[in-house]
Protein backbone atom coordinates (compact mmCIF):
# COMPACT_ATOMS: atom_id res chain seq x y z
CA UNK A 1 0.00 0.00 0.00
CA UNK A 2 1.27 3.46 -0.84
CA UNK A 3 0.84 6.51 1.38
CA UNK A 4 1.48 9.17 -1.21
CA UNK A 5 -0.05 10.12 -4.50
CA UNK A 6 2.51 8.73 -6.83
CA UNK A 7 3.23 10.07 -10.25
CA UNK A 8 5.92 9.03 -12.63
CA UNK A 9 7.35 5.64 -13.32
CA UNK A 10 5.73 2.24 -13.31
CA UNK A 11 3.69 1.03 -10.40
CA UNK A 12 3.54 -2.70 -9.74
CA UNK A 13 0.33 -4.59 -9.00
CA UNK A 14 0.93 -4.15 -5.29
CA UNK A 15 1.34 -0.39 -5.76
CA UNK A 16 5.03 -0.64 -4.98
CA UNK A 17 7.40 1.38 -7.12
CA UNK A 18 10.89 2.79 -7.24
CA UNK A 19 11.03 6.58 -7.32
CA UNK A 20 12.16 7.96 -10.67
CA UNK A 21 13.64 6.02 -13.54
CA UNK A 22 14.41 2.30 -13.11
CA UNK A 23 17.65 2.68 -15.13
CA UNK A 24 18.98 5.12 -12.53
CA UNK A 25 18.36 2.48 -9.88
CA UNK A 26 20.34 -0.13 -11.79
CA UNK A 27 23.22 2.37 -11.85
CA UNK A 28 22.81 3.17 -8.14
CA UNK A 29 22.87 -0.53 -7.30
CA UNK A 30 25.99 -1.18 -9.40
CA UNK A 31 27.71 1.81 -7.84
CA UNK A 32 26.94 0.84 -4.25
CA UNK A 33 28.19 -2.67 -4.99
CA UNK A 34 31.43 -1.22 -6.40
CA UNK A 35 31.90 0.79 -3.20
CA UNK A 36 31.18 -2.38 -1.23
CA UNK A 37 34.14 -3.91 -3.04
CA UNK A 38 36.29 -0.88 -2.13
CA UNK A 39 35.32 -1.34 1.54
CA UNK A 40 36.36 -4.98 1.29
CA UNK A 41 39.74 -4.13 -0.28
CA UNK A 42 40.40 -1.47 2.36
CA UNK A 43 39.45 -3.86 5.18
CA UNK A 44 41.67 -6.59 3.77
CA UNK A 45 44.56 -4.12 3.57
CA UNK A 46 43.88 -3.00 7.13
CA UNK A 47 43.95 -6.57 8.42
CA UNK A 48 47.44 -6.90 6.92
CA UNK A 49 48.87 -3.93 8.82
CA UNK A 50 46.39 -2.73 11.45
CA UNK A 51 48.83 -0.50 13.35
CA UNK A 52 49.79 1.47 10.21
CA UNK A 53 46.11 2.04 9.37
CA UNK A 54 45.30 2.91 13.00
CA UNK A 55 48.14 5.41 13.31
CA UNK A 56 47.34 6.96 9.91
CA UNK A 57 43.64 7.34 10.75
CA UNK A 58 44.67 9.40 13.82
CA UNK A 59 45.78 12.13 11.40
CA UNK A 60 42.25 12.56 9.98
CA UNK A 61 39.93 15.04 11.63
CA UNK A 62 36.81 13.44 13.12
CA UNK A 63 35.29 16.93 13.40
CA UNK A 64 35.57 17.51 9.66
CA UNK A 65 34.18 14.02 8.98
CA UNK A 66 31.17 14.78 11.22
CA UNK A 67 30.72 18.18 9.55
CA UNK A 68 30.76 16.63 6.08
CA UNK A 69 28.23 14.00 7.18
CA UNK A 70 25.91 16.70 8.54
CA UNK A 71 26.27 18.74 5.34
CA UNK A 72 25.29 15.82 3.10
CA UNK A 73 22.44 14.72 5.38
CA UNK A 74 21.01 18.24 5.44
CA UNK A 75 21.35 18.67 1.69
CA UNK A 76 19.66 15.27 1.24
CA UNK A 77 16.76 16.25 3.51
CA UNK A 78 16.25 19.48 1.52
CA UNK A 79 16.22 17.42 -1.68
CA UNK A 80 13.63 15.04 -0.21
CA UNK A 81 11.51 18.11 0.63
CA UNK A 82 11.93 19.38 -2.96
CA UNK A 83 10.63 16.04 -4.32
CA UNK A 84 7.70 16.24 -1.93
CA UNK A 85 6.95 19.80 -3.09
CA UNK A 86 7.11 18.67 -6.74
CA UNK A 87 4.36 16.15 -5.96
CA UNK A 88 2.23 19.07 -4.83
CA UNK A 89 3.06 21.14 -7.92
CA UNK A 90 4.54 23.85 -5.72
CA UNK A 91 7.11 25.30 -8.06
CA UNK A 92 8.33 28.02 -5.69
CA UNK A 93 8.96 25.52 -2.93
CA UNK A 94 10.70 23.11 -5.32
CA UNK A 95 13.02 25.93 -6.37
CA UNK A 96 13.71 27.03 -2.79
CA UNK A 97 14.40 23.56 -1.45
CA UNK A 98 16.62 22.79 -4.43
CA UNK A 99 18.56 26.03 -3.98
CA UNK A 100 19.02 25.01 -0.33
CA UNK A 101 20.12 21.48 -1.27
CA UNK A 102 22.69 22.87 -3.73
CA UNK A 103 23.90 25.65 -1.40
CA UNK A 104 24.36 23.35 1.60
CA UNK A 105 25.80 20.63 -0.67
CA UNK A 106 28.48 22.97 -1.97
CA UNK A 107 29.77 23.39 1.60
CA UNK A 108 30.93 19.76 1.29
CA UNK A 109 33.31 20.84 -1.49
CA UNK A 110 34.62 23.70 0.66
CA UNK A 111 35.40 21.49 3.66
CA UNK A 112 36.85 18.79 1.38
CA UNK A 113 39.24 21.23 -0.32
CA UNK A 114 40.21 22.56 3.14
CA UNK A 115 40.79 19.00 4.35
CA UNK A 116 42.78 17.85 1.30
CA UNK A 117 45.01 20.94 1.32
CA UNK A 118 45.65 20.53 5.06
CA UNK A 119 46.65 16.90 4.59
CA UNK A 120 48.92 17.69 1.65
CA UNK A 121 50.57 20.56 3.56
CA UNK A 122 51.18 18.19 6.47
CA UNK A 123 52.94 15.85 4.04
CA UNK A 124 50.25 13.17 3.64
CA UNK A 125 49.85 12.31 -0.03
CA UNK A 126 48.63 9.44 -2.18
CA UNK A 127 52.13 7.96 -1.93
CA UNK A 128 52.56 8.23 1.86
CA UNK A 129 51.27 4.71 2.59
CA UNK A 130 48.44 2.30 1.73
CA UNK A 131 46.02 3.98 4.13
CA UNK A 132 46.45 7.39 2.53
CA UNK A 133 46.32 5.84 -0.94
CA UNK A 134 42.88 4.42 -0.04
CA UNK A 135 41.90 7.67 1.68
CA UNK A 136 42.57 9.76 -1.42
CA UNK A 137 41.17 7.23 -3.92
CA UNK A 138 37.97 6.45 -1.98
CA UNK A 139 37.20 10.05 -1.00
CA UNK A 140 38.28 11.18 -4.50
CA UNK A 141 35.92 8.76 -6.28
CA UNK A 142 33.19 9.77 -3.84
CA UNK A 143 33.96 13.45 -4.54
CA UNK A 144 33.57 12.78 -8.26
CA UNK A 145 30.10 11.36 -7.53
CA UNK A 146 29.40 14.48 -5.46
CA UNK A 147 30.41 16.77 -8.37
CA UNK A 148 28.18 14.83 -10.79
CA UNK A 149 25.37 15.11 -8.23
CA UNK A 150 25.77 18.89 -7.99
CA UNK A 151 25.66 19.16 -11.80
CA UNK A 152 22.48 17.03 -11.85
CA UNK A 153 20.91 19.23 -9.17
CA UNK A 154 21.81 22.38 -11.12
CA UNK A 155 20.17 20.95 -14.26
CA UNK A 156 17.07 19.97 -12.26
CA UNK A 157 16.98 23.41 -10.70
CA UNK A 158 16.95 25.00 -14.18
CA UNK A 159 14.19 22.60 -15.23
CA UNK A 160 12.19 23.54 -12.13
CA UNK A 161 12.40 27.17 -13.26
CA UNK A 162 11.59 26.63 -16.94
CA UNK A 163 9.57 23.43 -17.32
CA UNK A 164 6.13 22.40 -16.17
CA UNK A 165 6.04 20.65 -12.78
CA UNK A 166 4.30 17.60 -14.22
CA UNK A 167 4.63 13.80 -14.14
CA UNK A 168 7.60 14.01 -16.49
CA UNK A 169 9.42 16.48 -14.22
CA UNK A 170 8.64 14.32 -11.21
CA UNK A 171 10.42 11.35 -12.80
CA UNK A 172 13.43 13.62 -13.37
CA UNK A 173 13.53 15.03 -9.85
CA UNK A 174 12.94 11.64 -8.22
CA UNK A 175 15.79 10.13 -10.27
CA UNK A 176 18.17 13.01 -9.45
CA UNK A 177 17.21 12.92 -5.78
CA UNK A 178 17.78 9.15 -5.59
CA UNK A 179 21.28 9.63 -7.01
CA UNK A 180 21.96 12.50 -4.57
CA UNK A 181 20.87 10.36 -1.61
CA UNK A 182 23.27 7.65 -2.82
CA UNK A 183 26.16 10.14 -2.47
CA UNK A 184 25.00 10.61 1.12
CA UNK A 185 24.59 6.85 1.68
CA UNK A 186 28.15 6.12 0.53
CA UNK A 187 29.57 8.82 2.81
CA UNK A 188 27.68 7.34 5.78
CA UNK A 189 29.88 4.21 5.35
CA UNK A 190 33.09 5.98 4.28
CA UNK A 191 33.11 8.11 7.44
CA UNK A 192 33.55 5.26 9.98
CA UNK A 193 35.67 3.25 7.51
CA UNK A 194 38.34 5.92 7.11
CA UNK A 195 38.03 8.29 10.08
CA UNK A 196 36.98 6.14 13.01
CA UNK A 197 39.02 2.90 12.86
CA UNK A 198 41.55 4.18 15.39
CA UNK B 1 -6.76 14.44 3.18
CA UNK B 2 -4.14 14.88 0.47
CA UNK B 3 -2.87 18.05 2.16
CA UNK B 4 -2.54 16.12 5.39
CA UNK B 5 -0.59 13.35 3.70
CA UNK B 6 1.78 15.88 2.26
CA UNK B 7 2.28 17.57 5.59
CA UNK B 8 2.93 14.13 7.13
CA UNK B 9 5.47 13.40 4.41
CA UNK B 10 7.27 16.67 5.10
CA UNK B 11 7.33 16.16 8.85
CA UNK B 12 8.71 12.62 8.30
CA UNK B 13 11.60 14.04 6.24
CA UNK B 14 12.39 16.51 9.03
CA UNK B 15 12.12 13.93 11.81
CA UNK B 16 14.39 11.53 9.92
CA UNK B 17 16.90 14.38 9.42
CA UNK B 18 16.89 15.13 13.17
CA UNK B 19 17.50 11.46 13.94
CA UNK B 20 20.33 11.21 11.38
CA UNK B 21 22.01 14.40 12.59
CA UNK B 22 21.63 13.44 16.26
CA UNK B 23 23.10 9.98 15.66
CA UNK B 24 26.04 11.54 13.76
CA UNK B 25 26.80 13.94 16.61
CA UNK B 26 26.69 11.15 19.21
CA UNK B 27 29.15 9.07 17.14
CA UNK B 28 31.46 12.08 16.72
CA UNK B 29 31.31 12.78 20.44
CA UNK B 30 32.12 9.16 21.30
CA UNK B 31 35.01 8.98 18.84
CA UNK B 32 36.56 12.34 19.63
CA UNK B 33 35.94 12.61 23.33
CA UNK B 34 37.69 9.42 24.45
CA UNK B 35 34.73 8.72 26.71
CA UNK B 36 34.81 5.04 25.85
CA UNK B 37 37.36 2.55 24.59
CA UNK B 38 38.10 3.05 20.84
CA UNK B 39 36.89 -0.47 20.03
CA UNK B 40 33.54 0.22 21.70
CA UNK B 41 33.29 3.61 19.92
CA UNK B 42 33.95 1.99 16.53
CA UNK B 43 31.42 -0.78 17.15
CA UNK B 44 28.77 1.78 18.09
CA UNK B 45 29.75 3.92 15.06
CA UNK B 46 29.23 1.05 12.62
CA UNK B 47 25.93 0.00 14.19
CA UNK B 48 24.83 3.64 13.87
CA UNK B 49 26.11 3.76 10.26
CA UNK B 50 23.95 0.74 9.35
CA UNK B 51 20.98 2.38 11.08
CA UNK B 52 21.57 5.71 9.29
CA UNK B 53 22.02 3.99 5.92
CA UNK B 54 18.71 2.19 6.44
CA UNK B 55 16.94 5.45 7.32
CA UNK B 56 18.27 7.10 4.13
CA UNK B 57 17.35 4.04 2.04
CA UNK B 58 13.82 3.65 3.37
CA UNK B 59 12.77 7.26 3.85
CA UNK B 60 14.85 9.48 1.56
CA UNK B 61 15.36 6.98 -1.26
CA UNK B 62 11.80 5.80 -0.57
CA UNK B 63 12.59 2.11 -0.72
CA UNK B 64 9.88 1.51 1.86
CA UNK B 65 7.46 1.85 -1.06
CA UNK B 66 9.65 -0.07 -3.53
CA UNK B 67 9.27 -3.68 -4.72
CA UNK B 68 10.52 -5.89 -1.90
CA UNK B 69 13.49 -7.28 -3.84
CA UNK B 70 15.01 -3.81 -4.30
CA UNK B 71 14.43 -2.88 -0.69
CA UNK B 72 15.96 -6.08 0.66
CA UNK B 73 18.97 -5.88 -1.68
CA UNK B 74 19.89 -2.40 -0.43
CA UNK B 75 19.16 -3.23 3.21
CA UNK B 76 21.40 -6.29 2.85
CA UNK B 77 24.11 -4.08 1.34
CA UNK B 78 24.01 -1.69 4.33
CA UNK B 79 24.15 -4.56 6.81
CA UNK B 80 26.95 -6.36 4.92
CA UNK B 81 29.02 -3.17 4.53
CA UNK B 82 28.84 -2.21 8.22
CA UNK B 83 29.12 -5.83 9.39
CA UNK B 84 32.05 -6.56 7.08
CA UNK B 85 34.03 -3.50 8.18
CA UNK B 86 33.34 -4.33 11.82
CA UNK B 87 34.30 -8.00 11.45
CA UNK B 88 37.61 -7.07 9.78
CA UNK B 89 38.30 -4.50 12.51
CA UNK B 90 37.76 -7.01 15.32
CA UNK B 91 39.72 -9.71 13.51
CA UNK B 92 42.72 -7.34 13.38
CA UNK B 93 42.25 -5.95 16.91
Residue range of the domain that includes B68: 2-92
Which positions 61-80 of A are in contact with B (Cβ < 8 Å)? 62-63, 65-66, 69-70, 73-74, 76-77, 79-80
Greater confidence, B36 or B44? B44
Q: Do B82 and A189 count as a contact with CB atoms less than 8 A apart?
A: yes
Instruction: Report helix, strand and coil shares of chain B as percent, to nearest 5.
Output: 90, 0, 10
Q: Do A192 and B45 count as a contact with CB atoms less than 8 A apart?
A: yes
Query: What's residue A3's pLDDT?
Result: 38
Interface-testing mutation among A76, A189, A191, with chain B (most B C-beta atoms within 10 A): A189
Domain count for chain B, please give it.
1
Domains and CATH numbers, chain A: 22-195 (1.20.120.80)
Of A176-180, B33-37, B48-52, least confident by mean pLDDT is: B33-37
pLDDT tens digits in sequence order for chain A, 198 residues long: 333 444 444 555 578 999 999 999 999 999 999 999 999 999 999 999 999 999 999 999 999 999 999 999 999 999 999 999 999 999 999 999 999 999 999 999 999 999 999 999 999 999 999 999 999 999 999 999 999 999 999 999 999 999 999 999 999 999 999 999 999 999 999 999 999 998
Interface-testing mutation among A80, A105, A181, with chain B (most B C-beta atoms within 10 A): A80
Q: For the whole model, what pTM was predicted?
A: 0.93
Amino acid sequence: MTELTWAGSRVTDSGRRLPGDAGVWVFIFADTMAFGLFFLLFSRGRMGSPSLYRDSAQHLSVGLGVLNTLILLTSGALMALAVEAARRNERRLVQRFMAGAIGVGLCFAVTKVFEYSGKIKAGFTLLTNDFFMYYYVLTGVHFLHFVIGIVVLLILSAKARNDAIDAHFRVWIESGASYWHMVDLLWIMLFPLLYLQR
Amino acid sequence: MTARRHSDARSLVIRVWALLAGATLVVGWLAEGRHVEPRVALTVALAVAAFKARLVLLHYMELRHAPLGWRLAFEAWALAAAGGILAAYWAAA
